[in-house]
Every structure is written in C-alpha cells, then in structure tokens.
Amino acid sequence: MSRIRIYNARILTMADGCNFIEDGVLTTDGERITYAGTADGEKQGTVYDREIDAKGNLIMPGFKNAHTHSGMTFLRSFADDLPLDRWLNESVFPREAKLKDGDIYWCTKLAVMEYLTSGITACFDMYLKPYEIAKATEECGFRCVQVGGMNNFSQSLELQEEWFNELNGKNPLTSYILGYHAEYTCSKELLSGLSELSHKYKAPVWGHNSETASEVSGCEERYGLTPTELADSLGLFDYGGGGYHCVYLSDNDIEIFKKRGLQIVTNPSSNTKLASGIAPISRYLKEGIGLAIGTDGPASNNCLDMFREMFLVAGLQKLKESDASAMDANEVLYMATVGGARAMGLDECDTLEAGKYADLIMLDMSKPEMQPVCNVTKNIVYSGSKADVKLTMIAGDILYEDGRFNIGEAPDTIIREVNKVNQEIGGVR
C-alpha cells in the first residue's frame, strides 16, 4: 500500500456536521488517513508515492449503500413494471433458482463497478452465496458488510452461524451480520431460532420490515402483531439492528425502534418504482431514529446511484408533507455517509479524520451543475450526479479514477460473464 497526498482540495470531513475546509490537504499511509485539514497545518517532510492536485475539487467520505442485493445485476431491467408480489414470485425467485456456482461472483463484480462510479465505498449486501460475494468484493478491494437473508427456502440457521463465524475477523474489507429476508418469508419458528443465535453472540439483527401495506396487514392477520412487534416479541432486537424500507411503521413500532436503538434504511427509488409507498423519513428524523440510505437491488431500482437516492429522500419528504422544508440536504448527506456507516457497523469509515480508513471520493466541482459553489451540500444533493465522481478510494487504494477501474479484473470480462449468466437463466427478452 502506498502513501498518497491530495492537496489544493476542498474537504468535507463530516466529522462536525457539513462544514468544509478550503485549501485543504489529505494524506494517507497505507489504508489509513494520516491528516485531513488545512494546508498550513500539515506536517512537512513526509515522502509520498503519489501527490494529487485536486484543483479545488471536493474530497468527502464515500457514500455507504446501506441496503442492496448486488448479485441481482443479472435481473436488471428484466422484471420491471410489476407489483412486488408478482415481481418476486413470477420473475425473481424462479430465475434465482437457476443460478449456478460462480454466477453471483461475476454479478457482484458488476455491481461493484457501478458502486465505484457512484462514489459508493461500502455496501450492506443481502444476497445468496456469501462466500462468492466475499471473494468478489475482496478481489476488487471493495468494502462489503453482508447480512443474512434467511427464509423458509434458503440460508438455514446453521449456515447463518457458519457465515457469522467465517466472514467476521478474517479480512478488514468483509464482515457479516445476522439477518432474515422478511417476516412473510420466515416461519415463526425460524425467527425464534435466529433470536437464539442473536442472543448467543450478542449480535444485532436486520431484515426487510413493513415495506408494503399488505405485508403489515398479512402479519397482523397471522399473529395479531405488526412485523416490528412480532420481531420484538421474539427478542430479535434485544441487541439492536434495524429494518430496511420501514414504509408503514405504526406509532408503537416507532416506539420500539426508539427503545431498542434500531436504525432504518430507506430505499426511495425502489419504493417508488414498486409503488410501495413513501416512508415518513422526516418523522423518523424528528423521533431521533438513526437513518441511512440504500439503493435496494439492481432488479428493483434499477440504478445503483446514491445521488438519485439522495434527491428522492429529500424530494419525496417535501411532497409527502407538503412542506418544502421537510427535509434538509445536510441531513440527507449525513444519512448517505455517516448514517450508513453506523448502520453497517463501520465506525472507522464514517468521517475523514486521522486514524480512520481512507474511504473517500473526489467530486469534480468544475462541472456546470456544481457551479456556482454557493452551498456545497445543496449542490451535491440537489444537482450532483455520478458523472461528478472523479475518484473513489477504499482503504487507501484508488479503485476508480477518471473513468478507469483498478479492481484486478478487466471491465469487459466482467460484463461478458454477467451477460452469459443472464442468457443461461433466461433473462434475455
């Protein structure tokens, strides 16, 4: 690993809100940041392997995609314009059953390429074949926190425990958190078993929660409880965790989230495209619940683009509340960076400070959509796009720069292999 110095930069550290440093310098030594501050405060005398003139561009923490299914790239634009139940049962589940060993490895690498172009430096990934996902992301140098997607048909309790032990503590780029797909795909006995695992390891649990109104009503018909109330009654949240989507939480659900210190990951593009609804994020924010943002998978979004998600988080709240002040861009940017890191347990990847991992991006502030620079955070959330991402660095390694990838694999090889997967499982129309 090399030592890198970036100078003549604007720096948004996110360490103390959204204030930024003019004429800043950021230095690294291997995978860690050694300095992030003003040029006049920099210690002199260090020899660097590379010095980068930022030319006034912005350095900031990378975005954290806090909910996704990376390997579903093979289903991008295939199962569109269908309601959620038909999307899952008629298009997704049958084709996932045809996947062979190695398929998800290539599909995950394609997702990593897209993450890097969007300035995403880590993902919270729920999908099949955790070893393949870990291999793919580690080879690319990408940071990935996996979460269990256990259900009645796959990912048994025994496998969850195996993955929890094998994928934690072995590689700093890879970790694993206990989880379940959703209440409606899991028996009560299975969820109870997951609760026992959570208590055994004193570990948090995550899962899809209250994504649609029918999901909530179905759970209430089965158990007389909402999905949140059921999970809490089984002790699934005794050690924290959280939920993805959370569009239809009741007042009591919100109190449970507050009491247990649970976090919410909102997925506005997916919820909009599948007509699931608009989560009341501004209320959750006022209630003090920890918030993060995810793209969801490339079969339901279909774009793994954090800029689009940020705009929708802000815009949909304003529309839902009929109040243009309902969601501030500063809060949204915090969710997309620090909030995501904390939901994923990446406390060393949240801000740009000495000693933290060098997981950062450079945004091109000279682009027309980023000028004039009246307010940096407003520009990023309301007018920024993935076209503004010049550089993406993870653990001190530059994996994407000016349209070029450095991920140990030729992009055309990855694309060719994913298209082969798509053809073999009948995804081509």
Query: Over the stretch 321-365, which tens digit does the pLDDT of each residue have?
Result: 999 999 999 999 999 999 999 999 999 999 999 999 999 999 999
- Residue 229 in this model has a pLDDT that exceeds 80: yes
Angle, helix 103-117 to helix 130-140, in steps of 10 degrees: 40
Q: Residue 86 has what pLDDT?
A: 83
Per-residue pLDDT at 97 exceeds 90:
no
**Separation between Cα atoms, residue 84 and residue 87, nearest integer Å:** 5
The rounded distance, in Å, linking the Cα atoms of 163 and 155 is 10
Residue-level length of the chain: 429
Q: Which residue has the tokens 């990378």?
A: 62
pLDDT at 429 over 70: no
pLDDT at 81: 84
Name the residue among 381, 138, 117 with its Cα closest to residue 125. Answer: 138
| Short-list 109, 104, 103, 106, CA closest to 141 | 109
Confidence of residue 17 (pLDDT cuts 50, 70, 90): confident
Mean pLDDT of 47-51: 97
Is the model's pLDDT at 123 over the cut of 80? yes
Q: Which pLDDT score, from 0 to 100, does residue 181 have?
A: 97
- The more confidently predicted of residues 16 and 156 is 156
β-strand 360-363 against 389-394: which pairing, if any? Answer: antiparallel
- In 98-173, the DSSP E strands lie at 120-125, 143-147
Structure confidence by residue, pLDDT tens digits, 142-195:
999 999 999 999 999 999 999 999 999 999 999 999 999 999 999 999 999 999
Tell me the average pLDDT of the chain.
Answer: 95
Measured between alpha carbons, how far is 154 from 7 in angstroms, rounded to an integer? 49
Q: Assess if CATH 3.20.20.140 describes domain 63-343.
A: yes
pTM for the whole structure: 0.96
At residue 16 the predicted structure's pLDDT band, cuts being 50, 70 and 90, is confident
Rounded to an integer, the average pLDDT of 284-308 is: 96
* Predicted local distance difference test score (pLDDT) of residue 85: 79
Domain segments of the chain as ranges: 3-61+350-405, 63-343
Average pLDDT over residues 99-119: 96
User: If you classify domain 3-61+350-405 with CATH, what class do you get?
Assistant: mainly beta
Considering only the C-alpha atoms of the chain, give the largest distance between any 2 of them, rounded to a whole number of Å.
Answer: 69
pLDDT tens profile 386-400: 999 999 999 999 999
CA dihedral 89, 91, 97, 98 (to 10 degrees): 160
Least confident of 73-87, 175-189, 256-270, 354-368: 73-87
Per DSSP, the three-state class of 35 is strand
Label residue 427 by pLDDT band (50, 70, 90): low
Give 149-155 contacts, CB < 8 A, sequence gap 24+: 149/179, 149/180, 149/181, 150/179, 150/180, 150/181, 150/186, 150/190, 150/194, 151/180, 151/181, 151/182, 151/185, 151/186, 151/190, 152/185, 152/186, 152/187, 152/190, 153/185, 154/128, 155/128
Angle among Cα 80, 86, 88 to the nearest 5 degrees reads 80
pLDDT tens profile 186-224:
999 999 999 999 999 999 999 999 999 999 999 999 999
Residue 79 has pLDDT above 80, yes or no: no
Check whether 428 has a pLDDT greater than 70. no
The confidence score (pLDDT) of residue 236 equals 98
Q: What is the mean pLDDT of residues 221-236?
A: 98
Look at the block and give the residue holding tokens 């089965």: 222
More confident position, 318 or 98: 318
